[in-house]
Structure 1
Amino acid sequence: MAKSVRPQGFPRQLRLLGQGDFQRVFNDTRCKSVDQCLLMLATPNGRGYPRLGLAISKRNIKTAVGRNRVKRLVRESFRRHRQQLAGLDIVVLSRNATHDSSNPSLLHSLNRHWRRLVKRCANSSSS
């Protein structure tokens, strides 16, 4: 019996949890989106819902507080856009400029990334 998903929650089924899940996205990337703050890789997952994995490195964001801030913003933005992202496994990686970005600029960047991924993955699946 499947548990119901709260509209604003982030349950386990919406997360990439194991090394195999991450490796599949890294090895079979169908679409990606890059800017100075973040790199997003995505691949279709054959499910009716998206899954998110975070790879926020200590090399790019030195403090735990900074890494947690970025992860919290990515998860919140993902929750708001998950209806449009259905059927994708997405891995978000931090880049060097991430630690200098303000919350509003990171959210703006995330919104652009979600739109790009939807557009690019739709184009790659139709070709």
Structure 2
Amino acid sequence: MNKYAFNRELRLLTPEHYQNVFKQAHRAGSPHFTIIARENSLSHPRLGLAVPKKQIKTAPARNRFKRIARESFRLRQHKLPNKDFVVIAKKSAQDLSNEEMFKLFDKLWRRLSRPSRG
């Protein structure tokens, strides 16, 4: 199996999956988007996306954001801890270039990969 694939098991698929993450999560945020994370009992990380129309109005802009979020996760997944991550877009995310978005994702993944204190 390709270690950089983004298969079904790497996604949060149900509303319950999302609610679990929202229950007790650590977050890493920027003015452009927030990533919340919660330990999971699996042997790999999973990704969920929340990109509200209210925040990013046009479908192409939402799709671009989601594409970059998935790609960033896909390339880093082998370094990420076994957590469920939900990326929540904010209005200003659409103003970033692809490169700026990737850099910001990298920074937030690193922050969320540190061992949790507690």
Q: TM-score range by the shorter chain?
A: over 0.9
Q: Aligned partners of 2:81 and 2:2: how far apart in 1?
A: 16
1:44 aligns with 2:48: no
Identity of aligned residues (%): 36
Which structure 2 residue ranges, 5 or more long, are not aligned? none
1:78 to 73, 79, 91: 73
**TM-score normalised by length of structure 2:** 0.95
Q: Which residue of 1 aligns with 2:50?
A: 55
Amino acid at match of 1:73: I
Q: Which residue of 2 aligns with 1:66?
A: 61
Q: Which residue of 2 aligns with 1:27?
A: 23
Q: Which residue of 1 aligns with 2:116?
A: 123
**TM-score normalised by length of structure 1:** 0.89
Q: Aligned partners of 1:6 and 1:15: how far apart in 2?
A: 16
Q: Which residue of 2 aligns with 1:110?
A: 105
Which structure 1 residue ranges, 5 or more long, are not aligned? none
Amino acid at match of 1:75: R
Q: Aligned partners of 2:63 and 2:91: how far apart in 1?
A: 16
Q: Aligned partners of 1:73 and 1:40: how far apart in 2?
A: 14
Amino acid at match of 1:68: N
How many residues are paired up?
A: 118
1:12 aligns with 2:8: yes
Q: Aligned partners of 2:43 and 2:85: how far apart in 1?
A: 14
Task: Return the index of the structure with the highest Cα Rg.
Answer: 1
Q: Which residue of 1 aligns with 2:92?
A: 97
| 8 Å Cα contact 1:60/1:99 also seen in 2 | no
Q: Aligned partners of 1:8 and 1:118: how far apart in 2?
A: 18
